[in-house]
Amino acid sequence: MDRPKVGIAVILRRDGKVLFGKRRNAHGKGSWGFPGGHLEGSENFEDCAAREVREETGMTIKNSHFGAITNDIFTDEEKHYTTIYMVADALEGKPKLLEPEKCERWEWYAWDQLPSPLFLPITNLLKQHFNPFDV
């Protein structure tokens, strides 16, 4: 296992719900996760969050801010990530499936009715009793 990579996950809020995508690629395949990806060199967290949401869903965000961080070790895949969670509000429009090789579909869920199975970083986030509507 190399040094940890830095991932940005965007908890996109709208009307009391958050956006989840069903992962299609090998990393977390079949689990539900937030839009996001890798932090690029010289990129700040807010810009990365906006870029990843735009690339994956075509949506724009506002009020982007830091929410939490998790240390995620995928032992079976021999991967290690530090995941930074950004919380943001979704502007108008429906999420589009712009990277169908990575995500099967997008759906909105209430925070107390999350889909299953969840991507490992989100499971780790929930252990912190994090709530995106409290930050």
DSSP assignment of 15-70: TTEEEEEEE-SSTTTT-EE-SEEEPPTT--HHHHHHHHHHHHHS--EEEEEEEEEE
Each residue of 101-130: pLDDT tens digit? 999 999 999 999 999 999 999 999 999 999
Burial class (CB in 10 A: 0-12, 13-18, 19+), 125: buried
Each residue of 12-65: pLDDT tens digit? 999 999 999 999 987 899 999 999 999 999 999 999 999 999 999 999 999 999
Cβ pair 54, 130 in contact under 8 A: no
Rounded mean pLDDT of 66-94?
94
The pLDDT of residue 15 is: 95
What the chain holds in terms of domains, given with CATH numbers, is 5-126 (3.90.79.10)
pLDDT band at 93 (very low <50, low <70, confident <90, very high): confident
Give the β-pairing of 5-14 and 79-90.
Answer: parallel
The pLDDT of residue 42 is: 96
Rounded mean pLDDT of 77-92?
94
The pLDDT of residue 97 is: 96
Question: How far apart are the C-alpha atoms of 65 and 59, rounded to whole Å?
Answer: 17
The pLDDT of residue 62 is: 96
Rounded mean pLDDT of 77-87?
95
Cβ pair 86, 9 in contact under 8 A: yes
